[in-house]
Amino acid sequence: MAPVNGKPFLHYIFKELQHQKIQQAVLSVGHLKEVIQDYFQDSYLGISIQYAVEHEPLGTGGGIKHAFSLVKDDAFVLNGDTFFDIELSKLKNADADISIALKPMFNFDRYGTVELNDEQRIISFNEKKHCEHGLINGGIYYFRKSLFEKIATDRKFSFEKDILEKHLHDLNIHGSIFDNYFIDIGIPEDYEKAKVDFK
């Protein structure tokens, strides 16, 4: 809900979903959920909205799994504090258990990197460190609800640690590279940059 030029950041994500003709969304909400629900209601920009309410923090994985209880089969999963301007349909991959949108970056130290093999399968997730050039996880995924039937999880768990990293070798985790506009408003400099970019 961080304001960017008079609109919450989520507004711009919904604008992009509308542009790509997405018709249904599930918002994973917890603390201060009423602020989000009061603003977006049950429909926004023609997109119907359901709310997966976490009455206690479930972690990124637990939150996604809980949200999938409102999804019939497959879905795109997006972070709420990043904007990655990709064509969502190009992320779909019938052979992959999980598809992840990857962004090439230069001279950075705030993100871990991702390595691919020749078949575009992800073979490693590396810790954050200074990197002159690498691929980062852009925070957009595509997978089916049945993924959670393949893997035993606790109610609370990390999607990154307990799914992506732990099951790197027994799931087909596919990476698609998009050298498109990307911003993460999690640090003050990029939050200020978003106010300029989104004008």
What is the pLDDT averaged over residues 143-165? 94
Mean pLDDT on 96-110: 95
Reported confidence tier of residue 14, pLDDT bands at 50, 70, 90:
very high
Question: Which of 122-126, 149-153, 190-194 comes out lowest in average pLDDT?
Answer: 149-153
pLDDT band per the 50, 70, 90 thresholds, residue 119: very high
Q: How far apart are CA 187 and CA 48, in angstroms?
A: 30
Domains and CATH numbers, the chain: 3-197 (3.90.550.10)
| Cα distances (Å, whole numbers) of residue 90 to 20, 66, 85, 189 | 12, 25, 12, 30
pLDDT of residue 135: 97
Band of pLDDT at residue 147, cut at 50, 70 and 90: very high
> What pLDDT shows up at residue 22?
97
Closest CA to 144 of 113, 103, 172, 176: 172
Residue pair 134/127 in contact (Cβ under 8 Å)? The answer is no
Interatomic CA distance for residues 184 and 180, integer angstroms = 13
**Average pLDDT rounded to a whole number, residues 90-98:** 94
Identify residue 159 by its one-letter amino acid code.
Answer: F
Amino acid letter, 144: R
Mean model confidence pLDDT for the chain: 96
pTM over 0.75: yes
d(CA 117, CA 95): 15
pLDDT of residue 146: 94
